[in-house]
Amino acid sequence: MAEVSIRDAKLIQYLNEAYGKERELETSLQAHITMTSRAPYKKRLQEHLRETKDHARRLNRRIKELGGKAEAIPAVPDRAPSAVGEAAAAVTTAASRAIAAAKGPLHAIRGSSDAEKMLKNAKTEYFNEYEEIATYRAIETLAETVGDRDTQRLARDIRRQEERMANFLERQIPTLTKAVAQAEIPASERRTRGGGRKRRSTSSRSRSRSSARKRSTSRSRSSGSKSRSKSSGRSKSGSGGGGRRKRS
């Protein structure tokens, strides 16, 4: 079997990091789907589970094409004995899956309502998506730097899918948060703060209208006084002129 180059060994290492994360998230997503009751959110999780499985298959294939073995993350560029590498891979895989499996039951008890469980799951998924985006961005850049266009294209395609999922979750989190408020906070308490703001706003508008009326009235009175003063001046001027004509 040909020895793997240092370049390909580094690519295999990074691809295996992504592969391990994808396999871990398969388990997490399956657990989250069973806890999700909101149809649009559940549907998107199911779609992303299919995407995640496809990502793992594509990564596995690319690792093999580079001369590596999926789940094997060598400490040095493919110089350890194969038996040691395979043992390390088995331990890593078992540990990742055990962690993901253990998180499922814990996630099932997080939060005091179904809405809050879904919100906390969405926050975890959002965090995981950005970790994956960073991983694939690194693979994409490494592959571009060393001239591996196939790996670069693979990493770019998967990264874009992860970004779409992250964008979906970003929009979903406010919706789920509002659902938590509706489920766990009494309607009377949810209305109190909003009502108070509305009353203050109404009162403020009333004061503004009252001030505007006062200013308008003041201007009208001032204008009337000026008009009367001008009229009186013209009358006095006319009387004075007539008297002078009579004396002449």
In a domain, 79, yes or no: yes
pLDDT for residue 110: 52
pLDDT for residue 124: 97
- HEC assignment per residue over 22-37: HHHHHHHHHHHHHCCC
pLDDT less than 50: residues of the chain: 72, 74-89, 91-92, 99, 101-104, 106-109, 194-196, 198-199, 242, 246-248
- CATH number of the domain where residue 134 is located: 1.20.1260.10
Q: pLDDT tens-digit profile of 85-144?
A: 444 445 445 555 554 544 445 444 455 789 999 999 999 999 999 999 999 999 999 999
pLDDT for residue 92: 47
In a domain, 74, yes or no: yes
Q: How many domains does the chain have?
A: 1
Domain range for residue 45? 6-185
pLDDT for residue 86: 46
Residue 170: both structure tokens together? 């970003």
In a domain, 238, yes or no: no
Average pLDDT, the chain: 79
pLDDT for residue 238: 54
In a domain, 203, yes or no: no
pLDDT for residue 208: 66
In a domain, 70, yes or no: yes
In a domain, 222, yes or no: no
In a domain, 208, yes or no: no
What percent of the chain is modeled with pLDDT above 90?
57
